[in-house]
Amino acid sequence: MFITETLIRVRYAETDQMNVVYYGNYAQYFEVARAESIRNLGLTYKEMESAGVMMPVVEMQTKFLRPAHYDDLLTIKTIMRELPVDHRILFEHEVFNQEKKLLTLGKVTLYFVKIGSFEKTVMPETMRNLLKPFFPEIN
Amino acid sequence: MFITETLIRVRYAETDQMNVVYYGNYAQYFEVARAESIRNLGLTYKEMESAGVMMPVVEMQTKFLRPAHYDDLLTIKTIMRELPVDHRILFEHEVFNQEKKLLTLGKVTLYFVKIGSFEKTVMPETMRNLLKPFFPEIN
Amino acid sequence: MFITETLIRVRYAETDQMNVVYYGNYAQYFEVARAESIRNLGLTYKEMESAGVMMPVVEMQTKFLRPAHYDDLLTIKTIMRELPVDHRILFEHEVFNQEKKLLTLGKVTLYFVKIGSFEKTVMPETMRNLLKPFFPEIN
Amino acid sequence: MFITETLIRVRYAETDQMNVVYYGNYAQYFEVARAESIRNLGLTYKEMESAGVMMPVVEMQTKFLRPAHYDDLLTIKTIMRELPVDHRILFEHEVFNQEKKLLTLGKVTLYFVKIGSFEKTVMPETMRNLLKPFFPEIN
C-alpha cells in the first residue's frame, strides 16, 4: 500500500454562496494530491507526460460528509491499495480538516494512455519500480 | 420520470493541456443542468434558497467515456427517475456532444436542508406539486 | 465599430461566500463573449486555432462597479473600436445584469501568434474581410 | 513598504489547451498571495470577515508577459507600497517562475466594506497597527 498526505489551503475562489467549498472543486484537490503522491515517489506527472504517457480520469466517486470552509487547511490522504496490473490505476482519497474531521471521500480511476494516439498502455517501468517497495506482497 | 435537456458550450477556460474538458468541470455542467431542470418546472433554485431551503450535494459518481473539446455544444440530459420521498433527491445526467456521442454519465445525490440550521428537511411542497404530473404512477 | 452582445447565466460555482460572483470569473465571461463575438462574424476561434493562429491574452483591465449574483442573466457587450493594424487586438466589455445595471467594465488585449512558434503575426485575412464592413472609415 | 512572497504550484486544472495557465486563473493566485500576505502580519482575512469587515475587489490590472506552465512552482511577490488612508487598499503582484523569470504583473485595488451593509469603512485598527512598522516614514 502506498499512502501520502498533501496539505491544501482552501482559497476564497473555491467557496460558494453556501459558505462552503463548492462540490466541484474536490476534483482539483484530488488532482493535486495525486500529483504530490507521484512526486513523493521521486518522479513527476509532468515527466510522465513528457515521456509520452498521460493519465486521463475515467471514473470518479465522491462522498461529501461535512463541508470545508474558506482558509481551512485540508489534509488530503491519498491511498494506492494495489499495484496496477493493466492500464488502470485507482487512487482513493480522504479529506480531513485541521480538526481531523473527515470531510470527503473520493475514488478516482485513471487510465495510462499514449499521448497522441490515446492508445491504452501500462504503467511506465520507472514508476512501477519506484512503487514496488510499497507492495512487498507481490514479489 | 422527469427529463430535461440543457445546452452548454464548452469554454476555453474549461479545457486543460490534454486538449479536453478538465474532468473536474463536469460537476459545474451538472449543476447548470440541475438548475435548468428545476427552472423548466416553473420555479428556480434561487427561489428555493430564498424560501429557506438549500440543496447541498452529498454524493456524486461520474464516468468519463469520451472527452469533450473546446467549443463543443454539449447536451446535458437530466433525469429524475423517482419523486423523492425523504430528504434525498437523485439526478442522473448524460452528456452528449453535437455528434450525439455519449461522453459522460453522472449521478448526483443532494439533500434538502434548512438554510442556517443545515437540518434535513423534505422537498418544498411547491416543487412537489410541480413534479407530480411527471410521476402519474404515484397517485 | 463592431459590437455584439452575449447572454451568460451566472452559475452557482461562480459565486463565493461574499454571495457574489468571484472577481476572477469575469475573465471567463469575457472569453465567452469574445468567442461569441467572433462567431457572430461567421467564423470561430476554434477554426482560427485549427488554421494555426492563436490569441493569447497579454493585458486585462477590469473595473468592478456592482456585484453580480447567482442566477443573474448577464449581458456582456463586446466592443471592437478599431480594426487591428498589427499583432494586437483590443476587446472592450461591459457587463449588465437583467435590470440593465452596469456591473463591470473590461479591456482585454490579445496578440495574434502562430501556434508552435509563438511568433507574432497579424489578423488572418478571413477575419479581416469579415470585419471590414463594420469599419467603413478605413476603406 | 510591506513585501511578502508566496509559493504556488500550478495545478493541471489551471492549464488550458494552449498548454499554459489560463489567463483568468491569475486572479486566484493574487487572492492567495494577498491572504498569505495578511497572514504574515499575524492576522487572517478570515478573521477580518468574522470581525465584520470584508474586502471586495474593485479594480484589477494584469499584464501577461510570459506563460506559466503545469507544475511550475510560482513565486508571487506581493507589495503594499503605501499604508491605506481611506477605504481603499492597493496590492501589487509580481509572478515569477522557478527560473526567476518574471511572468505576470498585477495590481489589485480593494475596498474595506462592512459586511451586511456593504458600507465603505477603513482598515481595521488591528491591521493598521501590525502594518505601521513597515511604513516608518508615516510616523
In a domain, D101, yes or no: yes
Q: What is the pLDDT along chain A (139 residues), one digit of tens a residue?
A: 999 999 999 999 999 999 999 999 999 999 999 999 999 999 999 999 999 999 999 999 999 999 999 999 999 999 999 999 999 999 999 999 999 999 999 999 999 999 989 999 999 999 999 999 999 987 6
Q: In which domain, by residue range, is C32 found? A: 2-138
What's the mean pLDDT in B76-90?
Answer: 97
pLDDT number for residue D139: 61
Q: Which chains touch A (3 or more CB pairs under 8 A)?
A: B, C, D
β-sheet bridge partners, residue A94: A77, A105
The CATH number that applies at residue D96 is 3.10.129.10
Give mean pLDDT, residues B58-73. Answer: 98
Residue segments in chain D with a per-residue pLDDT below the cut of 50: none
- Which chain B residue lies closest to C39 (C-alpha atoms)? B71
**Domains identified in chain A, total number:** 1
Instruction: State the ipTM, two decimals.
Output: 0.96
Q: Give the pLDDT confidence score for residue C138 in this predicted structure.
A: 76
Q: Does D127 map to a domain?
A: yes
Name chain A contacts of B20, Cβ cutoff 8 Å. Answer: 56
Contact B31 C44 (CB under 8 A): no
Closest chain D residue by Cα to residue A69: D46
- Report if residue D139 sits inside a domain: no
- What average pLDDT does range B20-35 have in this prediction? 98
Per the prediction, chain B carries an average pLDDT of 96
Neighbours of chain C (3+ CB pairs under 8 A): A, B, D
pTM to 2 decimals?
Answer: 0.97
D16 in any annotated domain = yes
Gap from C127 CA to chain A (nearest CA, Å): 30
Chain A: closest CA distance from residue B139 (Å):
33
In a domain, D54, yes or no: yes
Q: Which of A20, A59, A65 sits opposite B63 (nearest CB)?
A: A59
CB A7 within 8 A of CB A74: yes
Predicted pLDDT at B102: 98
Contacts from D127-130 at CB under 8 Å and sequence distance 24+?
A: D127/D38, D127/D41, D127/D43, D127/D48, D128/D83, D130/D41, D130/D42, D130/D43
| For residue C137, pLDDT beyond 90 | no
Give residue A138's pLDDT: 76
- Judging contacts by C-beta atoms under 8 Å, the chain A residues touching residue D46 are 70-71
CB atoms within 10 A of CB A137: 7
| Record: contact A71-D46, CB cut-off 8 A | yes
- In order, the DSSP letters of A57-72 are EEEEEEEE-S---TT-
pLDDT in tens, C53-110: 999 999 999 999 999 999 999 999 999 999 999 999 999 999 999 999 999 999 999 9
What is the rounded CA–CA span in Å between residue D127 and residue D38?
A: 8
The pLDDT of residue C41:
95
pLDDT band at B62 (very low <50, low <70, confident <90, very high): very high
Name every residue in D having a CB less than 8 A away from some CB of B: 12-13, 15-17, 19, 22, 24, 70
Whether residue B139 has pLDDT greater than 90: no
Query: What pLDDT score does D137 carry?
Result: 85
- Shortest Cα–Cα distance, A101 to chain B (Å): 16
Average pLDDT, chain C: 96
State how far the Cα of C113 lies from the Cα of C93, in Å rounded to an integer.
Answer: 22
Checking if the pLDDT of B138 tops 80, the result is: no
pLDDT for B132 beyond 90: yes
Best probe of the D interface among A45, A46, A98, by most D CBs < 10 A, is A46
